Structure 1
């Protein structure tokens, strides 16, 4: 996570009445009521025009009199403590440890150095190893990393190793999944109330399932491999209340770009970000994953969404292990609270070179685009491609710039060729993409989201302007250090592909 901030977004000039109510807004055509309520001396939240609170489920951990947030409860349970407060340092029992081909070899090396060459991992069934980053490449060092993972998993008899051997045809590898954060959910490794750690900053994606999920370094992962424990500091919690009906031209990517633009890339540094409200409750699981995925772009330690019927239905048939959801107490203390009326939000982008460089998509209509990229853990899920297909279908036109499609996992790739797009008369995403002139969906992986070796599919090897559904737009992130990346939702990305300019998707969806 970059520590430096980009220059303030032009939209920040429209903040007004901040001194009195903590209300900020976009121009009059896009007024968004946001009340930010600071923690009072009594440690209670005072909210301006707060909607009536829905009934909360009883706490399963700690004292209701003092109250704890979801994150505090999960860590209290995992550390076998009756109560925790922000700032407490506790040894936490880990439920799942995930690593991949970039950080796995380093974590394994540290484990062997500190615990011994012949040491055994703490629990072979709680370790998930997923090659996904630098896979479809001829780079020898990248290929070596996967070999190291394979040798370690064979040596340790790791139950959940999603291997790939035939790089020429990913479909010939039934165990290979693709992007770790999406695969973790699809394969049933995400469960409410648990602690999931991974050697990747976007491990926070799993917080969508009502669990504590965060990224850790190789040294920490090496220690967890040997002990199943990690010393963690309990983060304070920021609460984001999103109410209002979700407009048909918005996606969760717009919501998280709005939040990051509001608080900055350092606004949630080592803080939990809890997402609640009627809008959040209406989101499907993949959209909730998008929301939690990018909390790290605000510096967040973890993101979390309360588990509900949507969560439980998604998990049916994916996991047979019991789990216990937890919910924040009504008396829980939050560091700050932000409120949004989502019904008044407009499609957004994050301009180069920072995820908090927020702007309205329509404000960037004169920005000429060289390419569009739809993929990654953030924007390469089935729902993301269905959204893009919806825009292409509505337009009936062909794209004007190269449009690259990289499904996150094998399952997503299969969905593109089998699931009918609503309102299409039975057409699949792949058929609609072909008719629109997009590239053929590529092999599932992290792809060009983080650049990778020079032969990585769709890598920016030249200084171009790209609209992308990925999560970061720092210089060099997708390859060339002079490339310009506009982060956007799949709706906005597809609309931009059709015009060759950054485009508000309402041009095709209304």
Structure 2
């Protein structure tokens, strides 16, 4: 029986020769992650159920602080203290305190994400790891307690939607524009509990960072996972991450069968794709940059687990540098996705340039993406963000508006002080 990539991974993880959409399987978890917002409920659930020991404290559980770092309230500090105590009690090896950055960047960097396996995180954007050929999905904190206790979790095998992306991306157009185009076509709920698989010549040409952007936003169309088949780029990234951080975990990369059946195949041709915005207040409210150009803005946020990697920061500063800086009346908040990203950007001189142009560079964290730490928008303010969500209140006031865009487009808006197509600077 021919199987898709998602089906093959779930079959392997559940000890079945084959699975089909709709089957219920109990799958072994290879990577489980909780952070400072979701972790406390997981820990308290374990305690309430009398679970004294996690199933694995050496390799498979990771706890990380990224949402409220450094602690921005007494409650946040209490949550941090609770998790630090739990980590010590359990002897959990993979613990990253306030210094490392966003979970979805840090875990792959440190070799904790493996192709051909099942990864779960108590965070909806865990689907980012699908860029490595991993069946990765977000779960709730109480489900995570079950995983911490047993190392397993049940899944309904999803149907797969296949997105065949073809053509060559033009200058100023990125993978962020590709995924916004897909979400605009499918809708915010068009892939609910489906596996979204991206492939085709355009995806094959993308860097790992660009692929992570695609997989990261699978959840924005309701998908359970956002998968890309592993290739030599994947192998190189994983090998380098393991060597750099001294991890050695075996894995078997999987690919779907050529004759596997998808529920639906979408042909996404990008030769004529233009820079796009997801306009307020829905990520599927997608329009070309020229359709909405001219709207004055108050803030630009460059960062997040969607677009906070070195290639994103490099692309943004190149635009700002070429045009001599940012508009006087626009705030620009820049947040590298991890300490590793920050250090590389410092070594390239990127961070210094952001500062020279008057941008505010924060410590690696979720930052303005969650509207609680840095860069909160006030009533009637308009922001452009490279993050993944723009519903009301996501970045501050319910009366504010957020436009999602690529780092190139966001930087162009910072230069101009209004919504603009970067080709028109």
Q: Name the TM-score class by shorter chain.
A: over 0.9
Matched, 1:437 2:381: no
- 1:201-220 matches, cutoff 5 A: 201-220=124-143
Over aligned residues, Cα RMSD in angstroms? 1.2
Deviation, 1:387, is 1.0
Q: Distance in 2 between matches of 1:135 and 1:432?
A: 24
> Unaligned regions of 5+ residues in structure 1, if any?
1-65, 165-175, 420-427
Q: Distance in 2 between matches of 1:101 and 1:324?
A: 31
Q: Distance in 1 between matches of 2:323 and 2:250?
A: 46
Matched, 1:102 2:37: yes
Contact kept in structure 2, 1:379 and 1:469, CA below 8 Å: yes
- 1:253-264 matches, cutoff 5 A: 253-264=176-187
Matched, 1:92 2:27: yes
Question: For 2:4, which of 65, 69, 72 is the aligned residue?
Answer: 69
- 1:349-498 matches, cutoff 5 A: 349-400=277-328, 401-419=330-348, 428-439=349-360, 441-452=361-372, 456-498=373-415
Matched, 1:190 2:113: yes
Partner of 1:52: none
SS in 1 for 2:8: helix
Deviation, 1:451, is 1.3
Residues 238-280 of structure 1 deviation map (CA, whole Å, 9 limit, x = unaligned):
0000011121211111111000000100000000000001100
Matched, 1:131 2:51: no
Deviation, 1:137, is 4.0
Q: Distance in 2 between matches of 1:311 and 1:137?
A: 35
Count of residues in Structure 1 that have an aligned counterpart in Structure 2: 418
Contact kept in structure 2, 1:469 and 1:488, CA below 8 Å: yes
Matched, 1:241 2:161: no
Partner of 1:290: 213
Q: Distance in 2 between matches of 1:299 and 1:131?
A: 26
Contact kept in structure 2, 1:115 and 1:226, CA below 8 Å: no
Question: For 1:155, which of 89, 103, 114 is the aligned residue?
Answer: 89
Q: Distance in 2 between matches of 1:397 and 1:123?
A: 50
Residues 365-384 of structure 1 deviation map (CA, whole Å, 9 limit, x = unaligned):
12111111111111211111
Contact kept in structure 2, 1:379 and 1:470, CA below 8 Å: yes
Partner of 1:303: 226
Q: Distance in 2 between matches of 1:317 and 1:261?
A: 35
Q: Distance in 2 between matches of 1:461 and 1:228?
A: 43
**TM-score normalised over the length of structure 2:** 0.96
Q: Distance in 2 between matches of 1:443 and 1:436?
A: 18
Partner of 1:171: none
**TM-score normalised over the length of structure 1:** 0.80
Deviation, 1:408, is 1.3
Deviation, 1:330, is 1.3
Partner of 2:245: none
Q: Distance in 2 between matches of 1:243 and 1:393?
A: 31
Moved >6 Å (runs of 4+): none
Partner of 2:253: 325
Partner of 1:13: none
> Unaligned regions of 5+ residues in structure 2, if any?
243-247
Matched, 1:505 2:422: yes
SS in 1 for 2:128: helix
Q: Distance in 1 between matches of 2:137 and 2:380?
A: 33
Contact kept in structure 2, 1:268 and 1:300, CA below 8 Å: yes
Contact kept in structure 2, 1:399 and 1:436, CA below 8 Å: no
Contact kept in structure 2, 1:392 and 1:432, CA below 8 Å: no
Contact kept in structure 1, 2:326 and 2:417, CA below 8 Å: no
